[in-house]
Copies of this chain bind each other. A is one copy, B any other.
Amino acid sequence: MPTDLFMKESKNPYIPFGDRQDSPFYGKDILSVKQFTRQDLEYIFGVAHEMREMVQRVGSFDLLKGKILANLFYEPSTRTSSSFTSAMERLGGSLIPINEVHYSSVAKGESLPDTVRTLECYADVIVLRHPEVGASADAAKYARKPIINAGDGIGEHPTQALLDLFTIYEELGEVDGLTVTMLGDLKYGRTVHSLARLLSLYKVEINYVSPEILKIPSEIIDEVDSKGIPQAEFTSLEPVMPMTDVLYVTRVQKERFEKLSDYELVKSAFTITLETLTIAKERMIIMHPLPRVGEISMEVDNDPRAAYFRQMEYGLYVRMALLAMVLGKS
């Protein structure tokens, strides 16, 4: 674990947390993966790793006791909202859950800045999910309290990208030197774009495997290329599976295809089964942002390389870390 940097700061490993208003993230917003340097990521993952150890040792602890998180979701996302809820509660904090914004008077005609400026009277930090690109950045412009972007339309979902990368760290011990293969809908998949961006801060090789019509956008290719990362595109998984350390699977949506027969073809070619794994490394991991709808056969779940449920758990630790950091507690 490349957390030496962080560990050095923490003299006593058993009391690693406390008031750290000198933390580089204290009072900051978490809006985009573009805001992070490699050093930032190592700091975050160092804290997230300590969160993991604390949760495994004691379940919960009172680092954020008395703090309140407003979970402001303009579109439903039970998975993300539950993850932040758990993160806050395992740190002893409380929640203002606002999951049904579209029914509520908050939504009726009120501008997002006004809603945010109202909520920050009640909460210490706001997690925002919104269907419009740039909503979080807009909210952050007006808010005095930290805003964490939990997805703004086809824009960003930075905490998802962070948990994806943290999963690789924790499962494989390092990121440098790995071959990462992304599979499925690489055109519309927000998570894939953000992960590729973060990975470009490391020395990795990236393979993109997708049907022709769902290829990774050239702007991502160009951006990653500018960092000197080797990339290659494929329409079939077979050739790259043997050298893959991380297989990142995403869902291919039926709606993307004009002809149902094209979809069916792609669907069966892109489904991960135990047979797919016969040519895979012994030590590699399969990831998926979930929910899956058939892209990975349930028979794979018990294989130790199936990391997608552990991935959910790593998400908890990353979000605990982010909450603690922006509130000046780590």
Contacts and interface: CB of A to CB of B under 8 A. Distances in A.
Given A77-B104, A78-B105, A110-B293, A90 B118 contact: no
A122 B83 contact: yes
A100 B101 contact: no
A247 interface: no
- Majority secondary structure of chain A interface residues (helix, strand, loop or mixed): mixed
B118 A312 contact: yes
Contacts of A92: 66
Give how many copies assemble into the complex: 3
Given A121-B312, A291-B105, A67 B76 contact: no
25 contacts: A59-B67, A59-B124, A66-B90, A68-B89, A76-B100, A76-B105, A79-B105, A79-B118, A83-B121, A85-B122, A86-B96, A86-B121, A89-B94, A89-B96, A97-B97, A106-B291, A108-B291, A109-B293, A110-B291, A110-B293, A114-B291, A117-B312, A118-B290, A118-B312, A121-B315
Interface of A: 58-61, 65-68, 70, 76-79, 82-83, 85-86, 89-90, 92, 94-101, 103-106, 108-110, 113-115, 117-119, 121-124, 290-293, 298, 309, 312-313, 315-316
